[in-house]
């Protein structure tokens, strides 16, 4: 009798889950499902992710442990550091904020770890989706409204998101992307075409036209790294995150308070961890960074230079997938802030990220900008394991991702907890400019009174929302239980859904 494979998937848009379902129906595994969802999201969620962004992922394979994929692009070799260090902070958008996009190289690295379908099928499906079009969701409509001025200022953005009458498209309007469809079809035939040939030639030429220094050689130099993750262990729990330049280490630093479940202690730890991250997180390629400080931020209260950042809203998508064979994938891809750099290359249809806006212009800072260096990264995939289950967890939320995931970890590690209920609970985050506030502030949804009281006692300003907010994150999670059960949940703050799929 043929065994029916089961795969749980969660993603922030229904089209992504549909793509994963198609992959599973074709005989794909959890890796195939995650890659199919990720490719579809680059079409339907252009404000949050795309071919022009980066990717960080964790993959757990049965009998082989956990592997981290870090495909974070670097600043171009010709970046004018002297001009930038004279500025207080990096610009928020524009060509100087564009680092080499790593998403496609990241997909290739994940596919090399397993899967049976390869990248051609999901990229061909994404190409068809871009050519046929899709309706604007509520989340995309909010993003278009927020970034109206920036979208109107860019020729490529106007061509895709304009309504033909001088305005921009709204919820329910159809978006068709023929140039992106052509690019995706080219990548389906050869994913390496993202880094050699027509695609990088078009993108780099457009960036130079706008004042950047990017060349095709910068694209050719990019390689996705397959590295050992960082791991924390406590009372039978093992939890894995990607290493710097990502901020996974920041979550490890507040994990004790997160698991103990005291909101007051967690708020205090988050505040100190946020300040320490500002001072210490950077690219190990540029020199040693103080990982120990981020692993134990208590009492340090280092007042670091916060690289210029916009609001955390809409910066990322997370895809989680788990198979009953023991494979778990947490994949996060991003154009950083909404619509990234504000640049869409008309020749390729690619929206380019503004990850470089997170660099520091201080030459002494661990996050300093320089040729071949990567900015500090917010993307934070998590895999955790106990005797009872394996948890895959990721979210949208910019710099607030450690705070968001910390509030969910303990409940989601309880095998009896309902994950959808957990994701719907009110949350709180701390931040400054990343959340639109001039100083470090607690931003809280209704129902987080203990956290609000703790922040007030610490002297932290409080911004209380009227309901659930995007700043509190769009979380996606899957769980594989020791008895073989699978479950999944998608955050009610997003446009997505979760499903447990079956295929013979």
Q: Is 109 part of any domain?
A: yes
Alpha carbons 178 and 71: distance in angstroms, whole number: 27
| Number of residues that this document lists for the chain | 504
Strand partners, 442: 430, 462
Active site residues: 316
Q: Is 319 part of any domain?
A: no
Q: Is 329 part of any domain?
A: no
pLDDT at 1: 41
Q: Is 373 part of any domain?
A: no
Which helix or strand (DSSP H or E) is residue 126 part of?
helix 120-132
Same domain, 127 and 259: no
Q: Token pair for residue 203?
A: 């993108």
Same domain, 270 and 177: no
Which of 293, 328, 358 finishes a domain?
358
Same domain, 214 and 249: no
Same domain, 147 and 270: no
Q: Is 480 part of any domain?
A: yes
Q: Is 332 part of any domain?
A: no
CATH label of the domain that carries residue 390: 3.60.20.40
pLDDT at 314: 47
Same domain, 277 and 196: no
Same domain, 351 and 474: no
pLDDT at 157: 98
Q: Is 87 part of any domain?
A: yes
Burial category of 387 from C-beta neighbours within 10 Å (exposed 0-12, middle 13-18, buried 19 and up): exposed
Which of 358, 391, 412 finishes a domain?
358
Same domain, 171 and 243: no
Same domain, 345 and 416: no
Determine the 3-state secondary structure of 498 from DSSP. Answer: strand
Map tokens 């910066």 to a residue.
Answer: 315
Boundaries of domain holding 428: 227-312+380-503
Per-residue tens of pLDDT for the chain, all 504 residues: 455 689 999 999 999 999 999 999 999 999 999 999 999 999 999 999 999 999 999 999 998 999 999 999 999 999 999 999 988 889 999 999 999 999 999 999 999 999 999 999 999 999 999 999 999 998 899 999 999 999 999 999 999 999 999 999 999 999 999 999 999 999 999 999 999 999 999 999 999 999 999 999 999 999 999 999 999 999 999 999 999 999 999 999 999 999 998 899 999 999 999 989 988 999 999 988 999 999 999 876 555 554 444 344 446 899 999 999 999 999 999 999 899 999 999 999 999 999 999 999 999 999 999 999 999 999 999 999 999 999 999 998 888 999 999 999 999 999 999 999 999 999 999 988 878 888 889 999 999 999 999 999 999 999 999 999 989 999 999 999 999 999 999 999 988 999 999 976
Long-range contacts of 287-293 (CB under 8 A, 24+ apart): 287/366, 289/244, 289/366, 290/366, 291/244, 291/249
Same domain, 205 and 242: no
Alpha carbons 152 and 138: distance in angstroms, whole number: 20
pLDDT at 86: 87
Same domain, 212 and 243: no
pTM to 2 decimal places: 0.95
Number of domains the chain is built from: 2
Same domain, 342 and 407: no
Alpha carbons 397 and 251: distance in angstroms, whole number: 13
Same domain, 290 and 424: yes
Q: Is 151 part of any domain?
A: yes
Distances (CA, A) of 212 to 17, 93, 140, 372: 37, 12, 28, 15
Which of 299, 323, 358 finishes a domain?
358
């Amino acid at each position: 009798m043929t065994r029916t494979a089961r795969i749980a998937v969660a993603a922030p848009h229904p089209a992504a889950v549909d793509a994963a379902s198609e992959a599973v129906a074709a005989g794909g595994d959890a890796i195939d499902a995650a890659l199919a969802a990720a490719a579809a999201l680059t079409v339907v969620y252009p404000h949050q992710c795309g071919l022009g962004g980066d990717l960080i992922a964790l993959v757990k394979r049965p009998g082989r442990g956990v592997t981290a994929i870090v495909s974070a692009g670097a600043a171009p070799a010709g970046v004018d550091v002297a001009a930038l260090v004279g500025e207080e902070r990096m610009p928020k958008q524009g060509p100087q904020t564009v680092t080499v996009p790593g998403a496609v190289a990241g997909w290739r690295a994940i596919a090399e770890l397993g899967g049976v379908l390869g990248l051609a099928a999901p990229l061909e499906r994404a190409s068809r989706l871009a050519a046929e079009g899709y309706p604007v969701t509520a989340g995309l409509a909010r993003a278009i409204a927020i970034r109206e001025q920036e979208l109107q200022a860019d020729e490529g953005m106007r061509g895709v998101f304009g309504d033909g009458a001088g305005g921009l498209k709204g919820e329910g309007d159809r978006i068709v992307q023929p140039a992106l469809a052509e690019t995706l079809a080219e990548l389906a035939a050869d994913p390496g075409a993202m880094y050699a040939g027509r695609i990088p030639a078009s993108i780099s030429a457009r960036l130079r036209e706008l004042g950047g220094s990017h060349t095709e050689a910068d694209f050719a130099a990019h390689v996705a790294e397959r590295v050992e993750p960082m791991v924390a262990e406590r009372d039978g729990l093992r939890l894995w995150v990607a290493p710097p330049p990502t901020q996974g280490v920041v979550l490890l630093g507040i994990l004790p308070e997160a698991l103990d479940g005291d909101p007051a202690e967690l708020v205090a730890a988050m505040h100190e961890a946020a300040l320490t991250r500002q001072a210490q997180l950077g690219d190990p390629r540029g020199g040693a960074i103080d990982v120990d400080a981020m692993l134990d931020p208590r009492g340090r209260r280092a007042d670091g230079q916060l690289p210029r950042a916009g609001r955390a809203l809409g910066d990322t998508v997370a895809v989680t997938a788990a198979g009953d064979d023991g494979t778990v994938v947490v994949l996060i891809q991003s154009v950083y802030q909404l619509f990234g750099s504000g640049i869409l290359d008309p020749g390729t249809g690619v929206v380019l990220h503004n990850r470089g806006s997170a660099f520091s212009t201080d030459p002494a800072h661990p996050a300093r900008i320089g040729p071949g260096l990567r900015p500090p990264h917010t993307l934070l995939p998590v895999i955790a394991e106990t005797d009872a289950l394996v948890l895959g967890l990721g979210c949208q939320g910019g710099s607030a991702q450690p705070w968001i995931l910390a509030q969910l970890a303990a409940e989601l590690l309880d095998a009896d907890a309902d994950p959808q209920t957990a994701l719907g609970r009110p949350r709180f985050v701390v931040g400054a400019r990343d959340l639109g506030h001039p100083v470090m502030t607690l931003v809280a949804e209704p129902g987080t009174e203990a956290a609000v009281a703790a922040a007030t006692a610490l002297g932290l300003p409080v911004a209380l929302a009227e309901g659930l907010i995007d700043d509190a994150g769009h979380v996606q999670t899957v769980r594989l239980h020791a008895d073989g059960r699978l479950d999944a949940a998608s955050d009610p703050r997003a446009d997505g859904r979760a499903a447990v799929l079956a295929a013979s």
